Amino acid sequence: MAQITLIEAVTQALAYEMKHDESVVVLGEDVGVNGGVFRATQGLQEKFGELRVLDTPLDETTIAGVTVGMAVQGMKPVAEAQFEGFIYPMMEQIACHAARMRNRTRGRLTVPAVWRAPWGGGIRAPEHHSEANEHLFTNIPGLRVVLPSSPARAYGLLLAAIRDPDPVIFLEPKRIYRQYKEEVPDDGEALPLDVCFVLRDGTDVTLVTWGAQVKECLEAADELARQGVSAEVIDVATLTPLDFDTIAESVQKTGRCVIVHEAPKTAGFGAEIAARVAEECLYELLAPVERVTGPDTHIPLFRLEMKYLPSVERIVEAAQRTLAAS
């Protein structure tokens, strides 16, 4: 079986679902002949035609709004925002219509659509091409916010996102689009959207993260293991609705919690997890909760961007602090 990258897994999932479900359509800027600027939709227009792989006019508001309209008519549109930094004009349609159509109409009209966007920093891109703004969506009721962190999870979670009867924001960590390959059978098997994934079992400290930082957390766990510390690593994957039970179970076991994300710290989604840990795990905590995040600044242009993103060293250090505390 072929080994594929995360971005190829995205393409594989789109192709699988388009082949098996006629109502699935892909739309966005440059998604057709060009196959998307990251090649996520490579080859799809040849297979499925110009109407089901639709190059839209260059207007994010249009893309988002026609996506809502098509979805209400029973199609399953998968819209692409070319970069997360250009998703802002889509937010009115997402927040005011996609997320609340079911509620507004007491279930009469629904929006089974997906918005995909390449997300996050670390690829030496120009301004506005490196944003991590998942927290802007996690506070909108009625949305699922999903971030895959491996080829297999990208495939399984994207299939689940397309099949889900409600709108899903699917943010793809572009830094790890081509970082490594793994075997991903093209079997149409979706992964659940209501669980966190425990990627490594541990007993001393819990590292909670999502997206590209999963890689740094796994490396930090390796380093901690060399120091005799057993770290559990959780990939949250679906931020909302949150499966906090998996996190709580882990933190109640380890007594220590380090939350890692690249978005700015204040009111980032890590704040929500820290608050829940305080609500539900306070008496099991052996040390204060630690957050390793981007600072409350704009992500710098690329000469400094790696100093902005959480590093393995910073994560290890934070874990060590929790161990030193007790």
Partner 1 sequence: MSIAAKFEIEYLQYLDAEGKQVRDDLPEFAKDLGHMVELYKLMLSTRVFDAKSVALQRTGKLGTYASCLGHEAAHVGIGSAMKPEDVLAPSYREYGAQLYRGVQPREVYMYWGGDERGNDYQKEPARHDFAWSVPIATQCLHAAGSALAFKIRGEKRVAVCTIGDGGSSKGDFYGAINIAGAQNLPLVAVIVNNQWAISVPRKIQSGAPTLAQKGIAAGLHCIQVDGNDIIAVRKAMEDALERARNGQGGSVIEAVTYRLGDHTTADDARRYRGEQEVKDAWAKEPMKRLRAWLVAKGVWDDKKEEAWKAECDEWMDNEVNAYLETKTQPVTAMFDYTFAEVPADLAKQRDLVLSYENKGH
Residues that bind partner 1 (rule: CB under 8 A) add up to a total of 48
Closest residue by Cα to residue 134 from 169, 159, 161, 166? 169
Among 5, 11, 12, 67, binds partner 1 (CB under 8 A): 67
**For partner 1, the closer CB: 159 or 212:** 159
In contact, 321 and 295? CB cutoff 8 Å: no
Among 6, 18, 64, 146, binds partner 1 (CB under 8 A): 64
Is position 245 an interface residue for partner 1 (rule: CB under 8 A)? Answer: yes
Does residue 300 sit in helix, strand or coil?
Answer: coil
In contact, 145 and 238? CB cutoff 8 Å: yes
Is position 128 an interface residue for partner 1 (rule: CB under 8 A)? Answer: no
Does residue 138 sit in helix, strand or coil?
Answer: helix
Is position 21 an interface residue for partner 1 (rule: CB under 8 A)? Answer: no
Q: Taking every pair of C-alpha atoms in the chain, what is the biggest distance, in angstroms?
A: 61
Closest residue by Cα to residue 139 from 193, 101, 95, 79? 95
Among 7, 13, 44, 66, binds partner 1 (CB under 8 A): 66
Is position 228 an interface residue for partner 1 (rule: CB under 8 A)? Answer: no
Among 2, 19, 20, 61, binds partner 1 (CB under 8 A): 61
Is position 242 an interface residue for partner 1 (rule: CB under 8 A)? Answer: yes
In contact, 221 and 181? CB cutoff 8 Å: no
Is position 250 an interface residue for partner 1 (rule: CB under 8 A)? Answer: no
* 129 belongs to the catalytic site: yes
Query: How near is the Cβ of 104 to partner 1 at its closest, in Å?
Result: 5
Strand partners, 292: 260
Stretch that binds partner 1, among 1-9, 74-82, 119-127, 288-296 (CB under 8 A): 74-82
- Contacts of residue 194, Cβ cutoff 8 Å, sequence gap at least 6: 238, 241, 243
Does residue 108 sit in helix, strand or coil?
Answer: coil
Q: How many helices and strands (H and E) does the chain possess?
A: 12, 14
**For partner 1, the closer CB: 107 or 228:** 107
**DSSP-assigned states of every residue in 220-271:** HHHHHHHTT--EEEEE--EEETT-HHHHHHHHHHHS-EEEEEEEESTTSHHH
**For partner 1, the closer CB: 141 or 295:** 141
Catalytic residue selected from 97, 129, 135, 261:
129
DSSP H or E stretch at residue 208 = strand 205-209
Q: Which residue has the tokens 């692409």?
A: 80
Strand partners, 24: 76
Q: Which of residues 91-110 bind partner 1 (CB under 8 A)?
A: 92-93, 96-97, 102-110
Stretch that binds partner 1, among 85-93, 151-159, 180-188, 318-326 (CB under 8 A): 85-93
Stretch that binds partner 1, among 137-145, 254-262, 295-303, 306-314 (CB under 8 A): 137-145
Query: How near is the Cβ of 15 to partner 1 at its closest, in Å?
Result: 18
Is position 139 an interface residue for partner 1 (rule: CB under 8 A)? Answer: no
Local structure of residue 317 (DSSP, 8 states): H
**Alpha-carbon span 71 to 65, nearest angstrom:** 10
Query: How near is the Cβ of 86 to partner 1 at its closest, in Å?
Result: 14
Among 43, 126, 141, 192, binds partner 1 (CB under 8 A): 141
Is position 56 an interface residue for partner 1 (rule: CB under 8 A)? Answer: yes
Which residues participate in catalysis according to the annotation? 129
**Site for partner 1, rule CB under 8 A:** 25, 51-52, 54, 56-57, 59, 61-62, 64-75, 77, 89, 92-93, 96-97, 102-110, 141-142, 144, 164-166, 194, 241-245
